[in-house]
Amino acid sequence: MPLAIQRVWERIFTEWFPSTGFEHSGGPEFELYPMEDAGAENFRCEVWVPVKNR
């Protein structure tokens, strides 16, 4: 799981931001981990990134 989160952050900054009309707004970022089995195959967490239009 830690490697997966690192890859998500990398993709946000190297793929998602460059391909959209958004950029980081400078606010705090947030990762949400539900109180569930993180080892489960269908476990999901959320990454929240503050954005603004370019």
* Cα–Cα dist 3/33, whole Å: 15
Averages of pLDDT over runs of 10 residues in the chain (54 residues) are: 89 97 97 91 94 96
pLDDT of residue 2: 78
pLDDT of residue 6: 94
Nearest to 17 by CA among 8, 28, 30, 4: 8
> Distances from the Cα of 49 to the Cαs of 1, 16, 23, in angstroms?
19, 11, 10
pLDDT of residue 39: 86
What is the reported pTM? Answer: 0.82
